A = this chain, B = another copy of it.
């Protein structure tokens, strides 16, 4: 099994190392990841600048390819310029921080897996729902288990698995739930400041404490201590509203 791995925290992040080590037990691993952090890049691609690729070492050994691009760039590069064979699986992560609800849209991690899915390859994004004291071992083990399962199962074209794990010891994780994407988002605002030269600038900041009435959502699964696995796709047409819009008389 040929596995392409990427992330958005950069090739030197802790999460991608744990993921690669775990997936080496499942197949041949090729890592193509951003050379630095590319968080919140969404599904950006690099078309107006050239992309550079260098090899990256970790613990004194060859680890993978570091690219001057986004996660979506890295997956395209991996499949179309670096790997000799088309991968059987694309895995993006393990992200430091959850990627649930509408936050998926901003996520470079999910975007890497999305690119795989659009190219017709079984793909998943894996995120650990914490920013502090991450323990990637459980997430890496779950990703390996799911990778093995994906060998034997089929996903519809364009659909990927968005996996989020609570940052809990294995014995405290309550199980795995197939979930929906919560339709909640960050509550963000701007912190307006003045620099030492008298110029105004803004920091985007926010919090994320929504109520979510959807009991099946990724958000509620994580809050209840479950691993969430959401099948997502990018067929964005709102079919339910289609007929109504036809009546507008455009």
Please report which residues of chain A, range 223-250, place their CB below 8 angstroms from some CB of chain B when the two chains form the complex. 227, 229-242, 245-246, 248, 250
- Residues of B within 8 Å of A188, CB to CB, are 76, 80
Is B241 a contact partner of A231 (Cβ separation < 8 A)?
A: yes
- Residues of B within 8 Å of A161, CB to CB, are 245
Instruction: Determine the residue in chain B with the shortest Cβ distance to A152.
Output: B248
Inter-chain CA distance A81–B190, complex, in Å, is 7
Inter-chain CA distance A176–B53, complex, in Å, is 45
- Residues of B within 8 Å of A203, CB to CB, are 50-51
Instruction: Determine the residue in chain B with the shortest Cβ distance to A188.
Output: B76
User: Given A37-B48, A50-B202, A202-B81, is A42 in contact with B234 using a C-beta cutoff of 8 Å?
Assistant: no
Give the bracket for the number of chain A residues in contact with chain B.
35 or more
Is the C-beta of A199 less than 8 angstroms from some C-beta in chain B? yes
Partner of A202, one of B53, B72, B189, B235: B53
Is A156 a contact partner of B241 (Cβ separation < 8 A)?
A: yes
Is the C-beta of A204 less than 8 angstroms from some C-beta in chain B? yes
Interface string of A187-221 (1 = CB under 8 A from B): 01110110000011111100000000000000000
Is the C-beta of A173 less than 8 angstroms from some C-beta in chain B? no
Partner of A104, one of B50, B106, B233, B236: B236
Is A204 a contact partner of B236 (Cβ separation < 8 A)?
A: no
Is the C-beta of A26 less than 8 angstroms from some C-beta in chain B? no
Partner of A181, one of B37, B180, B199, B235: B235
Q: Which residues of A contact B (CB under 8 A)?
A: 37, 39-48, 50-53, 72-73, 76-77, 80-81, 102, 104-106, 111, 114, 118, 146, 149, 153, 155-156, 158-159, 161, 176, 178, 180-181, 183, 185, 188-190, 192-193, 199-204, 227, 229-242, 245-246, 248, 250
9 A–B contact pairs at CB < 8 A? A40-B45, A40-B47, A41-B44, A47-B204, A72-B106, A105-B118, A178-B245, A230-B237, A231-B238
| Given A43-B105, A146-B250, A149-B250, 9 further pairs, Cβ under 8 A | A43-B43, A44-B44, A45-B204, A73-B204, A77-B190, A77-B202, A159-B241, A183-B235, A233-B241
